[in-house]
Amino acid sequence: IISQVVGRLDVDKGIHTVIAVLASPEDRSCEKNWVVAGDLDHVIYEWYPEIRIGRVDLDNETYVFEQHIPSPRSFLGMRGSTNGVFYDGLYWFVTHVVVGDRGIARVYLHRLVALDPKLTKIVHASDPFVFEPGGDVEYCLGFRISSQGIVTFAYSVRDRFPCTLEISIFNLISF
């Protein structure tokens, strides 16, 4: 079983504390790729067939669905990847779709997705992209957007090779 865990990290002391191991809201044996938009009251559970957003109920160690946004068919298979970054009045996320099967060449196709500040509608979604030519199993661990619109992605290739990449947001999204 793979579960979501909520905890606290004290960087100064190098200590992490588990607060709760959350029960699956769908009775799934594998729960991963949830992403946070600001705080635990705004957690995206999945992206398709609708974006399902809820909150973490720490008292009952559960996830509670609160709102749904219709999503386009192009979001089929979309998963996690990063928590939301608030930039230019929107929450931005990096998501991915896995193409290929286990044992066969797998490629992670990423998309940058922006939701309005109340998390009620999709405002932007980039075309799919890879970080490196040829594609591979790339996983985006996090990202930031500077005030000048420079996106810095932190990602790994095959869970072994950490990398960063910088690109203008205007090269990824048409405004």
Q: Which of 85-89, 105-109, 127-131, 147-151 is least confident?
A: 105-109
Give yes or no for a cis peptide into 81 (omega within 30° of 0): yes
Mean pLDDT on 52-72? 94
Tens-digit pLDDT profile for residues 119-163: 999 999 999 999 998 777 899 989 999 999 999 999 999 888 999
Which amino acid is it at 132? E
Q: Identify the pLDDT of residue 124.
A: 96
pLDDT at 102 over 80: no
Which of the two residues, 101 and 53, has the higher pLDDT score? Answer: 53
Are 45 and 65 within 8 A, CB to CB? Answer: yes
pLDDT score, position 91? 97
pLDDT of residue 1: 76
pLDDT at 175: 60
Q: How confident is the model at residue 37 (pLDDT cuts 50, 70, 90)?
A: very high
Please answer whether residues 129 and 171 qualify as being in contact, where contact means their C-beta atoms are separated by less than 8 angstroms.
no
Q: Of 53 and 99, which is predicted with more confidence?
A: 53
The set of residues, in sequence order, having a beta carbon less than 8 Å from that of 71 and lying 6+ positions away, is 47, 48, 49, 50, 51, 78, 122
Query: What DSSP assignment string belongs to 8-74?
Result: EEETTTTEEEEEEEEPPTT--SB----EEESEEEEEEEE-SSEEEEEEEETTTTEEEEEEEEE--GG
Contact 56, 93 (CB under 8 A): no
Q: What is the dihedral of CA 172, 133, 135, 103, to 10 degrees?
A: 180
Stretch 105-117: mean pLDDT: 92
Pairing, β 15-22 against β 4-10: antiparallel
3-class secondary structure, 84: coil
Identity of the amino acid at 151: V
pLDDT at 103: 64
**Residue 96 reports pLDDT greater than 90:** yes
Name the pLDDT band for 8 (thresholds 50, 70, 90): confident
